[in-house]
Chain A
Amino acid sequence: MKAKRKMNSRFAPYLFILPYFIGVLLFTAGPLVMSFIMSFFDWPVIGDPVFTGMGNYIELFTKDSQFYDSMAITFKFSAIFVPLTIVLSLALALLISRQLKGISLFRVVFYLPTVVSSVSISIIWGWILNKEYGILNYMLSLLGVSGPDWLNSRKWALVALIIVSGWTVGTMMLVFYTALKGISTEIYEAARIDGSGEFRTFFQITLPLISPTMQFNIVTSFISALQNLSLVMLLTKGGPMKSTYMYGLFVYNNAFQKSRLGYASASAWVMFVIILLLTSLIFKSSDRWVFNQVTSKEERR
């Protein structure tokens, strides 16, 4: 009886995690391997796949100008989107972490857009950004500015996309909020007694202490920019004149519009590798600017 129980508890943990790992094998690991293999084939939806070696990758890097265009658009988007959302979400987090009456109401308000579907987001904002009847251009006209045709202008469509994507910074805000809450009030008290002003306290105490969180948010914000797909599809469809044809849409259309499954797999893998590289790059470079309590303690010793 005792022996049986021991056997039980030896296998028990594996039985508990088994369903999840069956799922991983069937729907994540399997497809992952398959996708890698497919990237070396010319793989149409109907008909037999043909092995082409590095053919897809060579075509991507040397023959397909859309690849570079989409990359450039994506990086341009990120170059504005990432710093903007970092600043905005941090500012929001600082506001909602103040212990004031009624502040939890604003916490809810700032987070609310993140529970809305991208379909609804595109509908709401598409109407706000309408050139003739949109409320945004009307408000701009009150300030004496004549607003552009946001979604149909090559110059402004990407900006519009950034404005709309920024609407869901709530998740990032919460991540900052937790980090801010984790800083002990004693540190602030000490700074106050030392006569440190609000700004100095922020730049010399708060910012260094939340730098690991900053790093986390920069990485996730960049990854989300690279994968941005549903909002692009719904709001601009990559247009006008492919000015918002971001990389996620490039991959998607290769697969489901042009039915080039092998080529799409190759382009997805390029994205994956970029994500991995940039993530590790940010984590590495952060040694220099991320304040780490453990290391600084060791240094002191």
Chain B
Amino acid sequence: MRVSKATKIVTYLLCVVLSFYFLFPFIWMILTAVKSEGEIFTYPPKFFPDTWRFHNFIDAWNAQPFGRFTWNSVLVTVWTTAGQVVSASLAAYGFARYQFRGKKFLFSILLATMMLPWDVTMIPQYMEFNLLGWIDTLKPLIIPALFGSAYYIYLMRQFLESMPNDFAESAKIDGANEFQIYSRIYMPMMKPCIILVCVLNMITVWNDYLGPLVFTNTQSKYTLAVGLAAFKGVHSTDIIPIMCISILMCIPPVVAFFIEQKNIIEGISGGVKG
């Protein structure tokens, strides 16, 4: 489509103006984190610090057991991601490559679970985990995810359905069983989709606040999200260390997003087609 020069200029102008709303908070967070206490509590606000105090990050890191919180977050993120890849791909494969009785019904259950508000299930879940002795451990954050989530199954199914059937046929002739066809032929081909699911899950789980808030109590079990929120709750005026940790917490999801940026944009948009 041809675009006139005027439209071009208006488009860029609007983009730049709107970028301010989306980008400035990040910039302001970084600029705040490297200032001194005196520089942030002034009016009018000082835009740039006199010296960039990167040492603020180290001080902030040592103010609370943030290493512990980060480790918990890493554990939860890695375990759930591994679980999602295995279970979600199994289910997606089942739905994409077979015709079987009850398929439509079972798939509609899967879709329905995506619409269910967490508010409805969180209380019995809490009691269930309490009964199992999982409260105040990381298990409630990890184990349910090991069975796979509907959204990832949905994404992977879409991907699998776009793949040709020939591979399965020829592998069958070569004597491969159903599971081998899945694990040796389709899994490697699903790599781009698996990476997408990994990144999406990493971002979601790393950022999750309510789950660890409800299911953990003691500080040593906090994830970074809850640890940071608790720190902010107690030391609300320690703006600088709060900003520092907040930046550190943003880094992994932002990096993951940049790596998979193209696929996330195409993948998410592909998922809701029609």
Residues of chain A at the chain B interface (Cβ within 8 Å): 8-10, 12-17, 19-24, 26-28, 30-32, 34-35, 38, 91-92, 95-96, 98-100, 103, 106-113, 115-120, 122-125, 127-128, 132-135, 138, 141, 167, 171, 174-175, 177-178, 181-182, 185, 188-189, 198, 212-213, 216, 223, 226-227, 229-230, 234, 248, 251-252, 255-256, 261, 264-265, 268-269, 271-272, 275, 279
- Nearest Cβ in chain A — how far from B55, in angstroms? 20
Does chain A have a CB within 8 A of B219? no
Within the complex, which residue of B41, B118, B253, B258 is in contact with A117, where a contact is CB–CB below 8 Å? B253
- Nearest Cβ in chain A — how far from B84, in angstroms? 10
Taking a contact as CB atoms under 8 Å apart, the answer to whether B119 and A19 are in contact is no
Within the complex, which residue of B44, B103, B207 is in contact with A138, where a contact is CB–CB below 8 Å? B44
Does chain A have a CB within 8 A of B164? no
Q: A100-B11, A116-B207, A117-B207 are in contact. Are A23 and B148 (CB under 8 A)?
A: yes
Q: A12-B98, A16-B93, A17-B91 are in contact. Are A271 and B117 (CB under 8 A)?
A: yes
Nearest-neighbor residue (CB-CB) of A132 within chain B: B43
Contacts of A132 in B (CB 8 A): 43
A119 to B117, CA, bound (A): 21
Q: Is the interface of B mostly helix, strand, loop or mixed?
A: helix
Q: A106-B19, A123-B243 are in contact. Are A21 and B106 (CB under 8 A)?
A: yes
Q: A31-B125, A110-B18, A123-B242 are in contact. Are A12 and B178 (CB under 8 A)?
A: yes
Taking a contact as CB atoms under 8 Å apart, the answer to whether A119 and B87 are in contact is no
Q: A35-B124, A182-B273 are in contact. Are A133 and B45 (CB under 8 A)?
A: yes
Does chain A have a CB within 8 A of B171? no
Q: A27-B144, A106-B15 are in contact. Are A112 and B254 (CB under 8 A)?
A: yes
- Nearest Cβ in chain B — how far from A201, in angstroms? 11
Within the complex, which residue of B3, B91, B123, B144 is in contact with A268, where a contact is CB–CB below 8 Å? B123
Does chain A have a CB within 8 A of B120? yes
Nearest-neighbor residue (CB-CB) of B182 within chain A: A16
A298 to B243, CA, bound (A): 58
Within the complex, which residue of A34, A107, A112, A113 is in contact with B124, where a contact is CB–CB below 8 Å? A34
Task: Among B7, B45, B208, B214, find the residue whose CB has the most chain A CB atoms closer than 10 A.
Answer: B45
Q: Is the interface of A mostly helix, strand, loop or mixed?
A: helix
Q: A109-B19, A111-B265, A198-B7 are in contact. Are A178 and B272 (CB under 8 A)?
A: yes
Contacts of B257 in A (CB 8 A): 111-112, 115
Contacts of B182 in A (CB 8 A): 16
Does chain A have a CB within 8 A of B234? no
Taking a contact as CB atoms under 8 Å apart, the answer to whether B41 and A133 are in contact is yes
Does chain A have a CB within 8 A of B65? no
Nearest-neighbor residue (CB-CB) of B147 within chain A: A23
Contacts of B103 in A (CB 8 A): 13
Contacts of A30 in B (CB 8 A): 124, 128
Contacts of A14 in B (CB 8 A): 94, 100
9 closest residue pairs by CB, A with B: A23-B147, A16-B94, A178-B269, A117-B207, A13-B98, A31-B124, A34-B124, A20-B91, A31-B121
